Amino acid sequence: MTKPKVLVTRKWPEAVEKRISENFDAKLNTADSPMTEDELIVAMKEFDALLPTVTDKVSDKIISTKESKVKIIGNFGVGFNNIDTESAKRNNIVVTNTPEVLTDCTADIAMLLMLGAARRGSEGEFHVRKKEWDGWRPTHMMGTKVTGKTLGLIGMGRIAQAMAHKSHLGFKMNIIFYDPYFDNQEIIKKFNALSCRSLEELLSKSDFVSLHCPSTKETQGLIDLDALKKMKSSAYLINTARGDIVVEEDLIKALNQSLIKGAGLDVYEAEPSVSPGLLKLKNVFLLPHLGSATEETREAMGMRVFDNVVKFFEGKEPRDRVV
């Protein structure tokens, strides 16, 4: 029996690539260079399955390619806003993602950003590396205490719950959240959490605002200058969700004008490009989209894609089907 032809758009963990190569007629991207739109259009005509990552924009133009052979798009990532899912529906293409396996590691990065921004982590490290530190003194590089403060979560899915767990039980933080679709009383009780009636209520009450909502038409640009003005001047914004949820130029303005005290970012509006305005600021802690970047998690994500694609070609329902 002929093996399905599968294209992997970027370099994946070695163990995953080995498993894919053993089970499919696979083409791997050993150079790990991003594929162009034209290359993806050609691929749609040659392969039975496309395995992109969250940084590969799979647009309607690509999905609607004439004489396309692709039957399933197995996305490497929990988010799938890089894929035109409406186009996938119209063209009868199945789309899967990789939920659950990256929950803890992404929450860990959110914690790192919160602590790093509050305690001026990157600023302090550069201070030492540049040999500018001339010794301890009572007023040197004072930051913000995290323990006992109020953490506001926008979205209350798996990653937000993991961050709530680490923050509430580890740092004795008060947990509040805004998520009109969440009403799990057991989890709310577990963290002694407060459900806010509006985004404005959450923004005004939080010492740290952490974003955990997907990028949708409703959430894109959600955190703009108006929203930032509703936050405390002593508050911090943390984003491990998607860059386009925040209007980056508005955030830069808010940080420059001390409308908020600082920010910690792992995602950006136009990745991998980062606004020069952010790079100039000391009160923002920046990471290069490392949320799920551990060996264990990235391998688990790849295996999740593999399992979904195997099930599909066996005629079974993929575990993580989103379309």
Please give the average per-residue pLDDT across 151-158, as a whole number: 98
Is residue 25 within 8 Å of 50, Cβ to Cβ?
A: no
CA angle, 125 as apex, 124 and 129 as ends, to 5°?
A: 120
Residue 321: what pLDDT?
98
CA angle, 176 as apex, 174 and 179 as ends, to 5°?
A: 160
Residue 189: what pLDDT?
98
Please give the average per-residue pLDDT across 304-313, as a whole number: 98
Residue 202: what pLDDT?
98
If DSSP codes are grouped into helix, strand and coil, which group holds residue 193? coil
309-to-34, 119, 165 alpha-carbon distances in Å? 22, 44, 33
Q: Which residues are paired to 176 by β-bridges? A: 152, 194
Encode pLDDT of 27-53 as tens digits: 999 999 999 999 999 999 999 999 999
Encode pLDDT of 49-89 as tens digits: 999 999 999 999 999 999 999 999 999 999 999 999 999 99
Give every CB contact of residue 169 below 8 A, 6+ residues apart in sequence: none
Q: For residue 1, name the pLDDT band (cuts at 50, 70, 90).
A: confident
Residue 316: what pLDDT?
98
Q: Which residues are paired to 53 by β-bridges? A: 76
Residue 269: what pLDDT?
96
| Percentages (nearest 5) of helix, strand, coil residues in the chain | 40, 15, 45
Encode pLDDT of 236-288 as tens digits: 999 999 999 999 999 999 999 999 999 999 999 999 999 999 999 999 999 99
* Domain boundaries of the chain, sorted by first residue: 5-100+295-313, 103-286
Please give the average per-residue pLDDT across 130-137, as a whole number: 97
Write out the two tokens for 314.
Answer: 């066996």
Residue 208: what pLDDT?
99
Is residue 167 within 8 Å of 111, Cβ to Cβ?
A: yes
Residue 225: what pLDDT?
98
Write out the two tokens for 16.
Answer: 């995953």
Q: Which residues are paired to 37 by β-bridges? A: none
Encode pLDDT of 173-229 as tens digits: 999 999 999 999 999 999 999 999 999 999 999 999 999 999 999 999 999 999 999
Q: Do domains 5-100+295-313 and 103-286 have the same CATH topology?
A: yes
Please give the average per-residue pLDDT across 119-132, as a whole number: 97
Topology of domain 103-286 in CATH is Rossmann fold (3.40.50)
Which residue type does 114 have?
A: M
Q: Which residues are identified as catalytic?
A: 242, 271, 289
Question: CATH says 5-100+295-313 is which class?
Answer: alpha beta
